[in-house]
Amino acid sequence: MVRENAYVPYSGFKVGAAIRSASGAIHVGCNVENAAYPEGTCAEAGAIAAMVAAGDLRIAEVAVIADSPHPVPPCGGCRQKLAEFGDPDVPVVMYNTQGEMLRTTIRDLLPGGFSVDYMLRS
């Protein structure tokens, strides 16, 4: 559904994401591209922004869908963004429009990731 609203004049690759937050609310996002290519945003980033705008800060589950030969995993930057708001064991479920599904976790998507813990000084 939200995937259909993706703005993708450059890649033609529509992605949709949904986040269930700790409150139980569902927050959705789609990719929004830009003529200045690096300014484009991923579906996951849109869903995170919607969650934060709604006043939720903790992710309970993530779903991503695209029309792709295989279920599409979040990009590296989105893995870092998801880790900011989700515990390592949060499920990330990836789908394609043919109904294939792959399940993983934030931990498995971003082993050894940077976090606020590394900024703590003794």
Report residue 21 as tokens: 């937050």
- Taking CB under 6 A as the criterion, the residue among 2, 28, 42, 51 binding ligand THU is 42
- Asked if residue 75 binds ligand THU (CB under 6 A), the reply is yes
Contact 67, 97 (CB under 8 A): yes
Q: How far apart are CA 107 and CA 105, in angstroms?
A: 5
Contact 100, 64 (CB under 8 A): no
At its nearest, how many Å lie between ligand THU and the CB of residue 56?
20
What is the per-residue binding string for ligand THU in 47-66, x denoting contact by CB under 6 A? -----------------x--
The region that residue 82 occupies, defined by phi over 0 for left and psi between -120 and 50 for alpha, beta otherwise, is alpha
Task: Show which residues are catalytic.
Answer: 44
Q: Give the residues lining the site for ligand THU (CB under 6 A).
A: 8, 11, 13, 15, 31, 33, 40, 42-44, 64, 72, 74-75, 78
